[in-house]
Copies of this chain bind each other. A is one copy, B any other.
Amino acid sequence: MNDSAPILASFRTSGTNLTRAKTHNHRVVLEIIRTRGPIGRTEISEITSLSRQTVQNIVGELESRGIVEMHAQKARGRGHPGMMVKLKPDHAYSLGFHVDRLSVTAIACDLLGSIVWQSAAPMAAATPEAANSRILSMVEDFRAAHPAMAKCLFGVGLAAPGPFETGAQTSSGTDATTFSDFGSPENLAELQLAVGLPVVLQNDASAAALGEHVYGIGRSFNSFAFIQFGMGLGAGFVLNGALYPGASKNAGEIGHVVIDPNGPACSCGNTGCLERYLSLNALCERLGLEPTEPGSVARIEALFAEGDPAVLGWIADVAPLMRQMINMIEMMLDPEALILGGIICPEFLQALLDSAAPLPRRLDGSPEEGRIRIGTSGATAVALGATAAAVDALYAPSVSHLLL
């Protein structure tokens, strides 16, 4: 059992030092202030297990850098009334873009996920160049509309539909659903240069998962799976407090799990992929709608609202597939919870979920309550998730910032 193969670097082979520990502690303290609103320094000390003095120092530095501010609070109980620390609301903003084959949706929000600006525009062509120029012009739009906020921009998050082709092989040709080159390191570097800010990219499902993790109900969990029900079907996994993107950024492609080898061909090259049955694309196909039509999602929402039998029938038909998907994710990953989201209204997702009852048994006897939740969904959810990706990369603690 001892073949000498190449051995890769990871946290297993990276040392750390005082400086990295400091940045980690700063990020941790900031994360707590961000996620738990105004909070006393003593409580921060208890949560982090850092000494009170250390928290004092860190908060002092954050304050002098203008990131947080103190405000007094009327005492509640015995003892000296402590000052509360909170984020300076107008200190930092991020931009998020949901880049689609058809359109680009943009959002600007603060560190708490409050949206301060948004915009959407169709895209001339499904090419990296069209996406780049659209994004750049929207950045300029935001800067023109909110010059004060624009000065406090710290990063840009991009969410594009996966899967990404990061392998050596050339583009498969048959696949028109991916911006294979949009996500390339070269293009990202170019964009970053043009924007003048850090730029991070995730696929749409991962971005939405980060949205839940950073701003939403995912904050309550260290490990959860987010299911993105969109034109395709994807998932984003947050494991042990961090997004797990996969070795080639393609983890969570549950839409391309083959459930029937004899099923219809999929753009990915296999046949009978789950998303050929369970996705808005599949529903459009059933309804005779054109998925690339801009208003198709709104049309489905309207039909669903008026109780259209074709839509409700489809929901009933895919119930076994919902069960299969849920069972598969839970058995494989054993997450604390599943969060269901997507580009359609929450009521639709709830109906989809309700139809799947009774859910398959789980192995451990954990309670059913909160097993699956409906997350943030709708047209701007992924763009918001993209801002979360920027927050996560630039503000949140992570192992990579702790090591050398």
Contacts and interface: CB of A to CB of B under 8 A. Distances in A.
20 contacts: A2-B216, A8-B221, A11-B240, A11-B397, A12-B396, A13-B32, A13-B47, A13-B48, A15-B24, A15-B28, A15-B50, A21-B21, A162-B363, A163-B363, A165-B365, A168-B365, A169-B364, A246-B333, A328-B332, A332-B332
Contact of A18 (B3, B9, B18, B270): B18
Interface in A208-228: 211, 215-217, 219-223
Contacts of A2: 112-114, 215-216
Given A167-B365, A365-B168, A366-B169, A31 B48 contact: no
Most chain-B Cβ atoms within 10 A of its Cβ — which of A32, A270, A384? Answer: A270
Interface in A117-175: 162-172
Given A247-B223, A258-B327, A261-B323, A10 B241 contact: yes
A32 B376 CA distance: 44
Interface stretch (A65-73, A189-197, A248-256): A248-256
A187 interface: no
B241 A167 contact: no
Nearest to A109: B1
A240 B248 contact: no
A248 B366 contact: yes
A364 B361 CA distance: 33
A165 B25 contact: no
Most chain-B Cβ atoms within 10 A of its Cβ — which of A16, A49, A211, A223? Answer: A16
A36 interface: yes
A12 B334 CA distance: 21
Interface residues of A, number: 105
Q: Which 7 A-B pairs have the closest CB atoms?
A: A169-B365, A246-B334, A167-B365, A49-B404, A10-B241, A167-B366, A163-B363
Nearest to A260: B324
A163 to B, nearest CB: 4
A28 B402 CA distance: 14
A99 B366 CA distance: 25
Given A257-B331, A258-B360, A332-B257, A13 B31 contact: yes
A106 interface: no
A100 interface: no
A214 to B, nearest CB: 9
A12 B397 contact: yes
A331 B253 contact: yes
Interface in A227-274: 235, 239-242, 244-254, 256-258, 261, 268-270
A64 interface: no
Contacts of A399: 11, 240, 399
B331 A254 contact: yes
A401 B404 CA distance: 16
Contacts of A350: none
A75 interface: no
B256 A363 contact: yes
Given A5-B217, A7-B219, A21 B13 contact: no
Contacts of A29: 15
Contacts of A16: 16, 21, 24-25, 402
Given A253-B334, A257-B327, A8 B220 contact: yes
A103 interface: no
A367 interface: yes
Contacts of A366: 166-169, 248
B12 A241 contact: yes
A112 B8 CA distance: 18
A360 B253 CA distance: 14
B376 A1 contact: yes
